Amino acid sequence: MSIIIMLLMISLLILVHELGHFSVARLLKIRVDRFGFGLPFGPTLWEKKIGDVTYCIHAFLLGGYVAFPDDDPESDLPLDDPARLKNRKVWERALVISAGVTANVILAYVIVFCVILFTRGVPTDFNNIYVEKLVDEISVAAEAGLEKGDKVVSINGIEIKSFMEFKKILTANKTDDGYVSNSDLEKQLKQIVEANPHLIKNLGFNTSEIKTRELVEIENTVIPPGKVINVPALVYEDFLLPDLKDPFAQPQVLSEEDKLTDTEKQLKSAIVKEKFAGNGYTTFGEIAKAAADGKHNLNMVVERNGEAITLKLSPNKEGHIGIITRVEDVTVPLTSVSQLFTGSWDYICSKTYLMCLGLYKIFTGQISLWDLHGIVAITKIGGQIIQHRGMVDGWLLTALISIDLAIINLLPIPALDGGHLLFLLVEKLRGRPVEEKYQEAFMKYGFLFLIGLMIFIIFNDILAIVTGKF
């Protein structure tokens, strides 16, 4: 049921978008032939002509359109009639084309405004995180002493303000992550040197005082074949702090230079009971790096019955600690009428900035296209939010989708509103419209591009759901 509600909400956004185009066109006395709710594929559920406009509802509700006489070669409206969209001034056409985006922005603001009015609280990007349940009795969390109801306060002195921050820190510090910092490599190498003084001395190094230059030489020295050396385990790797300000930044902190090679990964299993037998080609540095890849120690402070308790734990190989969390959004209490208006606007602006930032990172390759998702994933996630967190969060998500719909439609891609606005800008600059044949070609290829992108995104969504990403 929650998924159906989410679909209806998304359909509302599309309907409002098309109503924006329709209303401004009618206001400017520009003729509209058809107003369609849904995509014109499959059966038409309802159709009626009122005045000179035919209104219809199609079975496939996730879409909509406003059809002008300009789109119909067989229209009886004279080509030079001012009621035709193409015969109007540039600014008038721009108003009609941008009206859908404007309607979505206004709707998003109204939704947030109503949510704040209803809840008496201004939403923020912050969360309170509670332990809802321990996954099992032998999990990391259970062994550390976490209990149901504990509130996560900080990790290694870093105040946890959102679930995103909590998840990023755990993922960045997972066990056997395949990365070793220079600091940990140096610590592990020193341990190996101290544990094998006679061998190091026989290799020509002064064991009484190992300097940095000599340590580098030892790192690149091959362990003599057949020689068994002591490889003390590194107790804990350094705590790694990911970028918590950028929600799109990856939790990975170290660079590719710090990543274990395939050979070094295989060497981990060659270390048996903290011993390794030289094979004639493995260096001290390689074995040190392999041995240093292990656990990261986290000091997690939780609040329990009003008391701050510090627990030590290390996330497993997946970056999990074995808990199911309960996430509560932090809101600022509504204290004035002006805060109702400004809070709604600030919330919309902050989310718009984040969406534009994400779009920029997609275009610049900082976010993989495989992380690009659409209607299928949104519907599933939205349904889960409505089911588990209620309609208030569902409406806030709908407001964000409305903003996202506005941003996407403004992209200068043919077949989108932004593509039409781009042609109008060119027309304004050159003093005459772009030739019809070029517009049609751009629109044709733009439409094919959008269809291809839509297929790719749907495939991404299905793959993500099947693989358990959502």
Distance (Å, whole) CA 442 – CA 300? 56
Query: Which amino acid is residue 171, in one-letter code?
Result: T
Exactly one of 18, 165, 237, 264 is catalytic; name it.
18
How many CB atoms lie under 10 A from the CB of residue 416?
20
Three-class secondary structure assignment of 255-281:
CHHHECCHHHHHHHHHCECCEEECCCC
- Strand, coil or helix: 138: coil
Query: Which amino acid is residue 137, in one-letter code?
Result: E
On the CB side of 359, CA atoms within 13 Å amount to: 15
Strands in 167-237 per DSSP E = 228-230
Distance (Å, whole) CA 145 – CA 394? 34
Task: Please give the helix or strand (H or E) that residue 304 lies within, else none.
Answer: strand 298-304
Active site residue 18: yes
DSSP string computed for 312-351: EE---TTS--SEEEEEEEEEEEP--HHHHHHHHHHHHHHH
CB 432 within 8 A of CB 339: no
| 431 Ramachandran zone, left/alpha/beta (phi>0; psi -120 to 50) | left
> Which residue has tokens 């609280």?
121
Instruction: List phi, psi (to 5°) of 200.
Output: -65, -40
Instruction: List phi, psi (to 5°) of 54.
Output: -95, 120
Residues assigned a catalytic role = 18
